[in-house]
Chain A
Amino acid sequence: MADVITYREAVAEGIAREMRRDPAVVCLGEDIGAAGGVFKTTAGLFKEFGPERVWDTPISEQAIVGAAMGAAMTGMRPVAEIMFSDFLACCWDYLANEIPKVRYMTGGQVTVPLVVRTANGGGLGFGAQHSQATENWALTVPGLKIAAPATPADVIGMMAAAIRSDDPVVFFEHKGLLASKGAPVPPDHVVELGRAAVVREGADVTLVALAAMVPLALRAAALLAAEGIEAEVVDLRCLVPLDMSTVLASLARTSRLVTVEENPYQGGWGATLVSVVADEGFGLLDAPVRRVAGECVPLPFADVLEERVIPTVDKVVAAVRDLTAY
């Protein structure tokens, strides 16, 4: 085993482990076969498992996710790739109307154990139609589980949990993290969905973050520590199920809350999170809550413009300073 693994390699490794374990796991998507995916997140799968397990599709997002659904209903565990998360809109019917509703409206007769993987998020200058953080779209749909790992180890562990899940999971792989590195994990590493992680302890403020916002929050926490402010950083890892108990327990220690969200402020997951805090944890707070989130604009192209509208370390540091002075 190499001593480091990239996030990108972890995606392929996570899928490969499940494909070795369970012959019902099959992959489909555009360019995922011999080409190894446009982000090389499926590299090696075609070679190891062949064309009967790793299927190249036409550019047909509805067919990809719709066929994955039909296969999942009839005994397979498909892992479908939608190249960029922006393209989820092309198959939104399946994510909003078909996959999440069929179990319910059939009175529990049908199970849809599939994973829709997709490259999410900005920071790379891909422009408005290839850069959005869209996990909040899925958050509005009852019946979808939402995973968004921040580290290679979590990619592998959460991929295992997602593929083994009897429920549909939308799995957001952050483009800005693909090259990031981490330690490899032992065989059968599984990270249960709906378990947040406290990735840095601190007594002064709780930063709750997801995916690429986790390392960003950690960088902000390091800067704040130099000023004597100790931030606790919670990596949510999943939006559904949402681990509110870890968030509330952290708030009981820190009494201050900042969410760090890449999605636009309006309709972002932080809004749900702080509403639960207001409802159930109001007494834990010694200050208002702050949400550092994306602006409500399409993502612009130029770096200076993109940085203006998505969270940065400086914006997080400023929000925390403001709160601790409250």
Chain B
Amino acid sequence: MDTGELLAMYERMALIRRTEKAAHDLFLQGLVKGTTHLAAGHEAIAVGASAALRADDYVFATYRGHHHALARGATPEECLAELMSRATGLCGAKGGSMHLTKAATGMLGSYAIVGAHLPMAAGAAWSARLRGTGQIAVAFFGDGATNIGAFHEALNLAAVWKLPVLFVCENNLYMEYTRIADVTAVARPAADRAPAYGIPGESVDGNDVVAVRESVARLAERARAGDGPALLEAATYRHFGHSRSDPAAYRPAEEVERWLKHDPLDLARGRLTELGVPEETVTAADERAQETVRQAVDAARNAPPPDPRDALTDVWADGGAAWRT
């Protein structure tokens, strides 16, 4: 492993962690409305996968998608401004926490209907194939999404059309408040279903950014070579509850403790130290992330609210919203 790349991945994970912390604090201060689904704990999946992808590959995520937007090039300032309903937000404050999208960098959206984006990712992969661009598409989703019809339809279509798409399940053991194991007939909700579609189903430690990067790189190469889709199940844990209103009291204390000890940032830091990177270098990366987020919070706080007139734009491609002529 190239230490420079690992350090960059660490810094990106630190940036995501800091941004999530800021989102949480801003929420407590009443500056973030609605809800947020924080991804603290899941950083290694977004960052490891992004590191393995081409800049022009497509990514589709869920309402728990802050980490993917940030891993795919959205800035903390754009994201926090979006959460804080500012005109400078990533989507002009029309999207919010659950819909972070940055099309220009291939972050094709975060979707709040569980599982809906899996067929879309298959479609983006289909389009890449038709256009002969060599791009792939990646859909990130939760374990709960594996019991939705769209998951199965997308997998079969992708398999039978041999599309260059990766389905990456972030298995954090829980749906909202229910354990996935209590409502699913197989032990690995994603990977165990892969044989039914004739595609590879693999598991990876989703908190180990290097392992995720390697798995995604291998499966992406396979997809790009025309060998079709694959399912990757990444084991992880969310540090917060499902959404901001959930203290996650349903999780056993030992379980939480065990997972917090298996923190993706600590793991990456440990690897860096093993590789001989000085402690100060890692700390400096942390401090840069912290400073970037601090400035982002300030900028977002000072940004103006959206113009109410913008509520009636962007329904149609001509920019308007007229339903009659």
The residues of A with any CB-CB pair to B shorter than 8 Å are: 26, 52, 55, 57-58, 60-63, 65-76, 78, 93-94, 97-98, 100, 102-111, 113, 142-143, 165-167, 194-195, 240-245, 276
Known: A66-B118, A97-B116, A98-B113. A74 touches B325 (CB 8 A): no
Check B314 for interface membership: any CB of A closer than 8 A. yes
* CB<8 Å pairs between A and B, sample of 14: A58-B153, A60-B153, A62-B150, A66-B150, A67-B119, A68-B123, A70-B121, A71-B127, A72-B123, A74-B128, A104-B315, A105-B96, A242-B323, A242-B325
Docked-complex contact B153 and A106, CB < 8 angstroms: no
Please, how many angstroms separate the alpha-carbon atoms of A245 and B324 in the complex? 9
Q: Which residue in B93, B126, B324 is a CB contact (below 8 Å) of A242?
A: B324
B contact residues around A65 at 8 Å (CB): 119
Residue of A whose beta carbon sits closest to that of B89: A107
Please, how many angstroms separate the alpha-carbon atoms of A165 and B160 in the complex? 30
Docked-complex contact B119 and A66, CB < 8 angstroms: yes
B contact residues around A106 at 8 Å (CB): 91, 94-95, 99, 101, 103, 109
In the assembled complex, the CB of B225 is this many whole angstroms from the nearest CB of chain A, namely 19
Known: A55-B161, A70-B124. A109 touches B325 (CB 8 A): no
Docked-complex contact B130 and A26, CB < 8 angstroms: yes
Residue of B whose beta carbon sits closest to that of A143: B315
Docked-complex contact B157 and A194, CB < 8 angstroms: no
Q: Which residue in A71, A93, A107, A143 is a CB contact (below 8 Å) of B124?
A: A71
Please, how many angstroms separate the alpha-carbon atoms of A195 and B321 in the complex? 17
Check B120 for interface membership: any CB of A closer than 8 A. yes
Residue-wise interface mask of B (80-117) relative to A, using a CB-CB cutoff of 8 A (1 in contact, 0 not): 00000000011111111001011110001101010011
Docked-complex contact B325 and A70, CB < 8 angstroms: no
Please, how many angstroms separate the alpha-carbon atoms of A240 and B322 in the complex? 9
Check B70 for interface membership: any CB of A closer than 8 A. no
Check B131 for interface membership: any CB of A closer than 8 A. yes
Q: Which residue in A60, A98, A103, A165 is a CB contact (below 8 Å) of B120?
A: A98
Check B174 for interface membership: any CB of A closer than 8 A. no
- When A and B form their complex, which 4 residue pairs have the shortest distance between CB atoms, in order from nearest? A66-B119, A70-B123, A67-B123, A166-B317
A contact residues around B316 at 8 Å (CB): 103, 143, 166-167
B contact residues around A97 at 8 Å (CB): 113, 116
Q: Which residue in A63, A72, A75, A100 is a CB contact (below 8 Å) of B157?
A: A63
B contact residues around A195 at 8 Å (CB): 325
In the assembled complex, the CB of B288 is this many whole angstroms from the nearest CB of chain A, namely 28
Docked-complex contact A107 and B95, CB < 8 angstroms: yes
Residue-wise interface mask of B (46-73) relative to A, using a CB-CB cutoff of 8 A (1 in contact, 0 not): 0000000000001010000000000000
Please, how many angstroms separate the alpha-carbon atoms of A192 and B48 in the complex? 48
Check B319 for interface membership: any CB of A closer than 8 A. yes
Please, how many angstroms separate the alpha-carbon atoms of A167 and B323 in the complex? 12
A contact residues around B117 at 8 Å (CB): 66
Please, how many angstroms separate the alpha-carbon atoms of A165 and B316 in the complex? 10
Docked-complex contact B157 and A58, CB < 8 angstroms: yes
Please, how many angstroms separate the alpha-carbon atoms of A93 and B150 in the complex? 10
Docked-complex contact B95 and A66, CB < 8 angstroms: no
Please, how many angstroms separate the alpha-carbon atoms of A245 and B325 in the complex? 7
A contact residues around B325 at 8 Å (CB): 194-195, 241-245
Q: Which residue in B126, B156, B321 is a CB contact (below 8 Å) of A60?
A: B156
Find the residue from B128, B314, B322 having the highest chain A CB count within 10 A: B314
Q: Which residue in B149, B160, B314, B322 is a CB contact (below 8 Å) of A107?
A: B314
Known: A69-B120, A76-B131, A105-B94. A110 touches B109 (CB 8 A): yes
Residue of A whose beta carbon sits closest to that of B163: A67
Docked-complex contact B123 and A62, CB < 8 angstroms: no
Please, how many angstroms separate the alpha-carbon atoms of A111 and B113 in the complex? 19
B contact residues around A242 at 8 Å (CB): 323-325
Please, how many angstroms separate the alpha-carbon atoms of A70 and B126 in the complex? 8
B residues 114-167 touching A (CB-CB < 8 Å): 116-128, 130-131, 137, 149-150, 153-154, 156-157, 160-161
Please, how many angstroms separate the alpha-carbon atoms of A73 and B125 in the complex? 11
B contact residues around A113 at 8 Å (CB): 317
Docked-complex contact B131 and A75, CB < 8 angstroms: yes
Please, how many angstroms separate the alpha-carbon atoms of A79 and B235 in the complex? 38
Docked-complex contact A66 and B120, CB < 8 angstroms: yes
Check B313 for interface membership: any CB of A closer than 8 A. yes
Residue of B whose beta carbon sits closest to that of A52: B130
Docked-complex contact B123 and A69, CB < 8 angstroms: yes
In the assembled complex, the CB of A58 is this many whole angstroms from the nearest CB of chain B, namely 6
Find the residue from A52, A104, A241 having the highest chain B CB count within 10 A: A104
Docked-complex contact A167 and B317, CB < 8 angstroms: yes
Docked-complex contact A108 and B313, CB < 8 angstroms: yes
Residue of B whose beta carbon sits closest to that of A111: B317
Extra 9 A-B pairs, beta carbons < 8 Å, given A98-B111, A105-B91, A109-B102: A66-B150, A70-B119, A75-B131, A93-B150, A106-B94, A108-B319, A113-B317, A142-B323, A241-B322
In the assembled complex, the CB of A97 is this many whole angstroms from the nearest CB of chain B, namely 5
Docked-complex contact A142 and B314, CB < 8 angstroms: no
Q: Which residue in A52, A66, A100, A111 is a CB contact (below 8 Å) of B123?
A: A66
B contact residues around A143 at 8 Å (CB): 315-316
Residue-wise interface mask of B (12-45) relative to A, using a CB-CB cutoff of 8 A (1 in contact, 0 not): 0000000000000000000000000000000000
Please, how many angstroms separate the alpha-carbon atoms of A229 and B229 in the complex? 65
Residue of A whose beta carbon sits closest to that of B135: A74
Residue of B whose beta carbon sits closest to that of A195: B325
Please, how many angstroms separate the alpha-carbon atoms of A98 and B90 in the complex? 19
Residue of A whose beta carbon sits closest to that of B160: A58
Docked-complex contact B324 and A243, CB < 8 angstroms: yes
B contact residues around A111 at 8 Å (CB): 317
Residue of B whose beta carbon sits closest to that of A78: B123
In the assembled complex, the CB of B108 is this many whole angstroms from the nearest CB of chain A, namely 6
Docked-complex contact A73 and B154, CB < 8 angstroms: no
Docked-complex contact A110 and B113, CB < 8 angstroms: no
Docked-complex contact B156 and A58, CB < 8 angstroms: yes
